[in-house]
C-alpha cells in the first residue's frame, strides 16, 4: 500500500458490504479508490476481473485507469480491472441483448452522420413550431430530453416542462416516435433500455451480477435516478457497492442528479459503512476557510468541514471593476504576472459560456496561449446578434424589403404591419430607400407619423457612419433597439446586456458597421479551436472553462469571472428562495461557487464587474459570503440595512428586512418575522442580496 492518512486507510481497507465515502475537494479520492482495488486483490484475493469501477466521463475513466497502473501496475492481473463509464457499460448490455434478438444498435450521436440527434430535433422543432430553434433553445431542448430520461419522468408529467421549450411535450413524443419507428437510440436511451432489459431479463442481469462482484462508483453525487436504478440492480443482492462522492459538489441537477441520493444512502443501506475524508491536500488554509464558510450555508448537505493539509499562504482577492472592459484588462495583467512563475497553471473560470467570448478575444489580442474546455461559440446565431446584423445590413441597403420586414417593429419609427403591406402592394422604384417611399403612403398622412419615419431614416443613415465603440450604443439608444428588448422580455435583462457588452467589445476596433459580421465570425472561428498558441509560446498554461467543465481539475492560480448578482448566482435562484422559500436552486449555485473556489492551489481571484453595458450590477451574494467567512481579512465591509432589502441569514437563509430600529432589525423569513439585535447582525447576517 502507498502512504495514506488514517481516514484514507479506513476507506481503502473496506471489504464487505455497501459503503459511502464523503470526500471533500482535494481529499485524494482517486488514490483511495485505486488503493482499495489493490487491497481487495492482495489482502482478500479478489479476482481483478471481478472488479468494476464506474465513472461519468470517458476522461475520468481513462485517468483512473492510468492512475491505477501507475500505482499498482506491478500487481498480477492489474490490467483486468474494469474502468468504465456507465454509458459504455450500458452500450455493452444493450448490444448483448440486441444480439440475442438479431437486432443492431443504431446510435444517432455521431455528428458526421446524416442521422444526428440535433439535426433530427431541429427538423421536428420546425415541423411543430413553424420556425427553427435558436442555439440557446436547442441546447435547452437537448437538456430537457436528457432530464426526462435520467429522472424517469412519466409521459403524463411532460406538460410541466413546456415552459422552457415551446411545445416540448409534442416535440418529445414525436422524437420518441421517430426513433421507435426507425430503431434509433441516443445515449440516454442506452440507460433506459439497459434498465428495461435487466427488469425483464433476469438471466442476463444475473450474468452481470456474477461477472462483477465488487463495484466502485466515482463522483456518486452526480448519479441520476435511472443510473442509480441500474447500479442497484447490478449490485444486488450482495451489495458490494463502494461509492465515493461529495454532496457539496453536486452541480448537475439539469441532468437529473440530486443531493438526496447521497444523503439518503445510509437509509437505503442501513448496514452501510460511512467514511469521511475531510483532509484537503490541494488548497491552502485561507482558501479552505473561505470555501467552508460559503458551503456551510447550504442545508441539504452532510455537516462537515474541510481541513487544509496544504499549509497557509494562499492568496484570495475580491477585485471590483467598473465594467467588463476593466475586468478583462485586469485579468490580462494578472495572468501575465502569474505566467512569470515558470510552471504556474492558470484556470479562468466562468458561470456562463458568454463570459468566455470576450475573454478568448482579449487573450488572443494579448498574445497569451490558452486552451479551452467545453467552449461553445453559439453567440453568432443568437437572435439578438442576428437582429443587430440585420439592422446594419438594412442601413446599408435601405431598399431591401425582405430585410426591413425582419426588423421594422424592433426600431423607433412606429412602422406598422399595414405599412409593410402597403410597401408590398406599391413597390418602390429600384434602389429607392423604402422609408422615403413610405412617406408617400396615405397611412402617413398625420404629421407626427411622417416625422417619426423620416427620423428613423436619418438615424439609419447615421448608423452607417458610426465606428468602433459607437456602433452598438447607437443601435440600442438612437434606433430604439434597447426599448424593443425591454418590451420583448424573451431573455432576461442580464443576458441581453451581457450579449450587448460582448458585441460592443468585439466591435471596438472596426472602422464601419459592415465589418461587424466578419469580426463576429472570426471570433467564433477562433473560439472553436480548443488550443490557441501564440507566436512566442508553446504549450498553453492557461485554461478557459465553465465551472461545470472544471470540476475534478485544479490549477495553481484561478480567476472566476463575472461574480455579480444575476450572473453568479444565476438569475431567479435568489428570487425563488426569497419568494417561495425553495432554496434548492440557490444551493446548487452555491455548490457551483464552492467548486470554483476549490480548484485553486495557491491563488484565487474573484472578479466583480460593477456594470454591464452601462447597466449597474449589484454585488454577488457569494462575495458577501466570502467576506463573512473571513472577517479578519474583510473587516468593515458589512452594509447598512433599510426596509425592503433582501438579506441572507447564516441559519434561516434568505429574508426581507421589515423594520429597522436603533436596537434591532426585523426580518421576514419564510417561516415568519424575527427580530435580531443590532449587536448580533454582523455575526449572523451574511450580507445583502439582489433578487
Write out the binding residues for ATP: 23-30
Closest to 613 measured CA to CA, from 562, 545, 574: 562
Nearest-angstrom CA–CA distance, 217 and 19: 10
DSSP 460-526: HHHHTT--GGGHHHIIIIIS-HHHHHHHH-SS-HHHHHHHHHHHHHHTTT-SSGGGHHHHHHHHHHH
The helix (run of H) or strand (run of E) holding residue 350 is: strand 346-350
Angle at 594 between CA 143 and CA 357, to 5 degrees: 55
CA distances from 631 to 316, 597, 638, 682 (A): 13, 18, 10, 10
| Cross-strand partners of 23 | 277
Binding residues: 23-30
Q: How far apart are CA 393 and CA 460, in angstroms?
A: 10
* Cis peptide leading into residue 237 (ω within 30°): yes
Sheet (strand 600-609) strand order: 315-321, 600-609, 555-560, 346-350, 542-546, 370-372, 531-532
Give, in order, the Cα–Cα distances in Å from 515 to each of 277, 392, 433, 519.
56, 10, 22, 6
* The three grid cell numbers given for residue 461, joined into one nine-digit string: 443613415
| Cα angle: 39, vertex 43, 46; to 5 degrees | 80
Residue reference for cell 497557509: 312
Enter the C-alpha cell of residue 11: 476507506
What Cα–Cα distance (Å) separates residue 664 from each residue in 38, 226, 652, 661, 683? Answer: 60, 50, 17, 5, 14
Q: Counting runs of H as helices and runs of E as strands, what totals does the chain give?
A: 29, 22
Q: SS3 string of 80-109?
A: HCEEEEHHHHHHHHHHHHHHHCCCCCCECC
What's the Cα-to-Cα distance from 275 to each of 271, 278, 482, 533, 643, rounded to whole Å? Answer: 13, 10, 55, 44, 46
State the burial class of residue 276 (Cβ atoms within 10 Å of its Cβ: 0-12, 13-18, 19+).
Answer: middle
**Residue 677 φ/ψ region, left for φ over 0, alpha for ψ in the -120 to 50 degree band, beta for the rest:** beta
Amino acid at each position: 500500500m502507498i502512504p495514506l492518512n488514517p481516514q484514507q486507510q479506513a476507506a481503502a481497507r473496506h471489504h464487505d458490504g455497501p459503503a459511502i465515502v464523503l470526500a471533500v475537494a482535494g481529499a485524494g479520492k482517486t488514490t483511495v479508490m485505486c488503493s482499495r482495488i489493490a487491497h481487495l486483490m492482495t489482502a482478500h484475493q479478489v479476482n481483478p476481473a471481478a472488479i468494476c469501477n464506474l465513472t461519468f466521463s470517458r476522461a475520468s475513466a481513462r485517468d483512473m485507469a492510468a492512475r491505477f497502473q501507475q500505482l499498482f501496475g506491478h500487481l498480477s492481473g492489474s490490467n483486468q480491472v474494469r474502468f468504465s463509464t456507465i454509458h459504455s457499460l450500458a452500450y455493452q448490455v444493450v448490444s448483448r441483448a440486441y444480439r440475442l434478438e438479431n437486432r443492431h444498435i443504431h446510435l444517432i450521436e455521431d455528428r458526421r452522420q446524416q442521422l444526428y440527434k440535433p439535426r433530427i430535433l431541429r427538423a421536428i422543432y420546425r415541423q411543430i413550431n413553424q420556425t427553427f430553434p435558436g442555439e440557446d433553445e436547442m441546447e435547452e431542448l437537448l437538456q430537457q430530453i436528457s432530464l426526462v430520461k435520467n429522472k424517469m419522468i412519466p409521459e403524463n408529467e411532460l406538460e410541466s416542462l413546456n415552459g422552457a421549450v415551446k411545445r416540448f411535450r409534442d416535440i418529445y413524443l414525436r422524437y420518441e416516435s421517430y426513433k421507435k419507428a426507425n430503431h434509433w437510440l441516443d445515449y440516454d436511451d442506452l440507460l433506459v433500455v439497459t434498465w428495461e432489459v435487466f427488469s425483464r431479463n433476469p438471466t442476463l442481469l444475473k450474468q452481470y451480477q456474477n461477472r462483477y462482484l465488487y463495484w466502485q462508483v466515482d463522483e456518486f453525487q452526480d448519479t441520476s435516478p435511472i443510473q442509480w436504478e441500474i447500479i442497484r440492480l447490478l449490485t444486488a443482492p450482495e451489495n458490494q457497492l463502494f461509492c465515493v462522492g461529495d454532496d457539496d459538489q453536486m452541480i448537475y441537477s439539469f441532468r437529473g442528479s440530486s443531493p438526496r441520493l447521497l444523503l439518503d444512502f445510509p437509509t437505503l443501506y442501513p448496514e452501510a459503512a460511512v467514511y469521511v475524508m475531510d483532509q484537503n491536500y490541494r488548497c491552502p488554509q485561507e482558501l479552505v476557510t473561505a470555501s467552508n464558510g460559503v458551503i456551510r450555508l447550504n442545508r441539504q448537505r452532510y455537516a462537515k468541514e474541510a481541513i487544509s493539509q496544504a499549509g497557509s499562504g494562499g492568496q484570495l482577492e475580491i477585485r471590483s471593476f467598473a465594467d467588463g472592459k476593466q475586468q478583462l484588462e485586469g485579468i490580462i495583467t494578472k495572468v501575465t504576472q502569474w505566467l512569470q512563475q515558470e510552471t504556474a497553471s492558470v484556470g479562468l473560470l466562468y458561470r456562463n459560456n458568454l463570459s468566455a467570448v470576450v475573454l478568448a478575444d482579449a487573450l488572443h489580442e494579448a498574445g497569451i496561449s490558452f486552451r479551452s474546455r467545453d467552449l461553445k461559440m453559439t453567440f453568432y446565431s443568437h437572435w439578438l446578434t442576428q437582429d443587430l446584423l440585420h439592422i446594419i445590413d438594412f442601413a446599408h441597403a435601405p431598399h431591401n424589403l425582405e430585410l426591413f420586414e425582419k426588423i421594422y417593429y424592433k426600431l423607433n419609427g412606429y412602422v406598422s404591419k399595414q405599412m409593410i403591406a402597403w410597401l408590398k402592394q406599391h413597390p418602390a422604384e429600384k434602389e429607392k430607400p423604402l422609408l422615403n417611399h413610405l412617406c408617400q403612403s396615405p397611412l402617413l398622412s398625420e404629421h407626427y407619423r411622417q416625422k417619426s419615419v423620416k427620423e428613423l431614416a436619418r438615424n439609419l443613415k447615421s448608423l452607417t457612419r458610426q465606428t468602433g465603440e459607437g456602433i452598438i450604443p447607437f443601435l440600442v439608444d438612437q434606433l430604439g433597439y434597447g426599448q424593443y428588448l425591454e418590451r420583448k422580455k424573451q431573455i432576461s435583462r442580464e443576458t441581453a446586456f451581457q450579449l450587448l457588452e460582448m458585441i460592443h467589445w468585439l466591435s471596438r476596433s472596426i472602422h464601419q458597421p459592415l465589418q461587424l459580421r466578419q469580426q463576429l465570425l472570426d471570433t467564433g472561428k477562433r473560439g472553436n479551436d480548443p488550443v490557441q498558441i501564440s507566436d512566442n509560446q508553446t504549450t498553453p498554461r492557461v485554461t478557459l472553462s465553465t465551472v461545470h467543465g472544471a470540476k475534478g481539475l485544479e490549477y495553481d492560480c484561478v480567476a472566476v469571472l463575472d461574480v455579480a448578482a444575476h450572473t453568479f448566482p444565476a438569475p431567479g435562484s435568489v428570487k425563488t428562495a426569497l419568494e417561495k422559500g425553495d432554496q434548492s436552486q440557490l444551493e446548487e449555485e452555491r455548490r457551483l461557487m464552492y467548486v470554483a473556489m476549490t480548484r485553486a492551489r495557491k491563488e484565487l481571484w474573484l472578479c466583480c464587474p460593477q456594470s454591464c453595458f452601462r447597466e449597474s450590477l449589484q454585488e454577488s451574494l457569494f462575495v458577501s459570503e466570502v467576506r463573512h467567512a473571513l472577517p479578519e481579512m474583510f473587516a468593515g465591509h458589512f452594509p447598512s440595512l433599510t426596509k425592503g432589502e433582501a438579506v441572507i441569514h447564516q441559519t434561516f437563509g434568505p429574508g426581507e428586512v421589515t423594520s429597522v430600529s436603533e436596537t434591532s432589525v426585523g426580518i421576514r423569513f419564510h417561516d415568519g418575522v424575527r427580530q435580531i439585535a443590532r449587536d448580533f447582525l454582523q455575526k449572523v447576517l451574511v450580507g445583502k442580496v439582489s433578487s
